[in-house]
Amino acid sequence: MRIALTGASGKLGRTALTVLRQAGHDVTALDIVGTRGPGFLQVDLTDYGQVIDALAGVRDGAAPAPYDAIAHLGAIPAPGLRSDVATFENNILSTHHVFQAARTLGIRNIVYASSETVLGLPFAIDPPYLPIDEEYPGRPESTYSLVKHLEETMAAQFTRWDPSLKIIGLRFSNVMDPEDYDAFPEYDADPKNRRWNAWGYIDARDGSQAILKALEAEITGFEVFVIAAADTVSSRPNAQLAAGEFPGVPVNRELGEHDTLLSIDKARRVLGFAPEHSWRDPR
C-alpha cells in the first residue's frame, strides 16, 4: 500500500515508519517537524488545505494520486504539555481534517492513535471492572482525552455516512522505547506509582505492529482496540495489585500473575495482534 503516516517524526511514528517500510509498504512521512529528504513532507495538519493537498499526493512534477491508506499519529501526545485550548485545537482539527480529506479523496483505510486515557485514566474514579476493555463508554478526564473521545465519536459518524470506510482507533497504552525500560524497576517501589494506567505500557515496536495489522485488516466500519503489552510494568502479582489498589472493583476473570490489566483480547482476536516485547526480557 501507499501509506501516508502522520506524526512520523514522533516517538511512535519513528518506529512505525520503519516497521511499515520493512513490511514492504511505500510510506510517506508527514509531520510539522522532520528532516528534509525523500519520503518526508512537512505538513501542518491543522491547515485543511495542506492536509488535502498532501493526502491527494500532490507533489511537484508528479501526477497526483491519493494514498491507499492513512496512519494518523500526529498530535500533542499527552495532557499538560501545552495549554488545554492549544491541545484541543491542534488535535481535534488535525484529526477532523485527516478524516474529511480521506472522505473527499476516497481513501477508505484509516488507522489512527486514540489513547488509553479514554478508559478513565488516571482512575480517580475506579474502572467498572478488571481487566479493563473496550466494552464500556469513554470516560475522558482531561481535555487531551476529551479530544480522543470526540475523535472516536467523529469516526463512528464518518463510517456511518460511508459504510465502505474503515476507521480503526488504537487506544495505545503508554508508549515505551527499549531505553525507557531502565526506569521500570523504580515503578515497583510503590504500586501507586503506575496505578494511574493500571500498570500498562506498550513497546513502540509492538504498537507499530498493531498499526501494521490494523492497516492490513480487511474490515469496514469503526472499531477501537486497546493496545498494550502482554504484561504489566510491575513485578507484583496482579492479585496483590488489584486487591491493594482497586478494592471493590469486580474482577471478571482469572487475571494471570502479570498479564496486562488493559485487555488486548479484542486486538488479538480481530487483528491478530501478538505483542513480542516485554520489559522483563528487553531485546
Ligand X SMILES: NC(=O)c1ccc[n+]([C@@H]2O[C@H](COP(=O)([O-])OP(=O)(O)OC[C@H]3O[C@@H](n4cnc5c(N)ncnc54)[C@H](O)[C@@H]3O)[C@@H](O)[C@H]2O)c1
Contacting residues toward ligand X, per CB under 6 A: 7, 9-13, 31-33, 43-46, 73-77, 90, 94, 113, 115-116, 172, 174-175
Shortest gap between Cβ of 10 and ligand X (angstroms)?
A: 2
Shortest gap between Cβ of 195 and ligand X (angstroms)?
A: 16
137: number of Cβ within 10 Å: 8
Shortest gap between Cβ of 47 and ligand X (angstroms)?
A: 8
Q: What is the DSSP string of 185-218?
A: HHHTT-GGGGGGGTT--EEHHHHHHHHHHHHH--
- Cβ neighbours of residue 247 closer than 8 Å, sequence gap 6 or more: none
**Which residue, 3 or 43, is less far from ligand X as judged by CB?**
43
Shortest gap between Cβ of 9 and ligand X (angstroms)?
A: 4
241: number of Cβ within 10 Å: 21
**Which residue, 11 or 239, is less far from ligand X as judged by CB?**
11
Shortest gap between Cβ of 163 and ligand X (angstroms)?
A: 26
Three-state SS at 272 = coil
- Cβ neighbours of residue 219 closer than 8 Å, sequence gap 6 or more: 166, 168, 270
**Which residue, 52 or 162, is less far from ligand X as judged by CB?**
52
* Grid cell locating 7: 506524526
Which among 266, 144, 277, 139 is positioned nearest to 214, based on CA atoms? 266
Alpha helices per DSSP H over 65-108: 84-105
Residue of minimal Cβ distance to ligand X? 10
Which DSSP symbol is given to 15? H
**Which residue, 35 or 164, is less far from ligand X as judged by CB?**
35
Shortest gap between Cβ of 50 and ligand X (angstroms)?
A: 8
Do you find a cis peptide bond into 77, omega within 30 degrees of 0?
no
**Which residue, 97 or 258, is less far from ligand X as judged by CB?**
97
**Which residue, 48 or 129, is less far from ligand X as judged by CB?**
48
E strand spans, the chain: 2-6, 26-31, 40-42, 69-72, 109-115, 166-172, 175-176, 202-203, 221-227
Shortest gap between Cβ of 271 and ligand X (angstroms)?
A: 17
**Which residue, 75 or 262, is less far from ligand X as judged by CB?**
75
Which among 131, 174, 169, 124 is positioned nearest to 148, based on CA atoms? 169
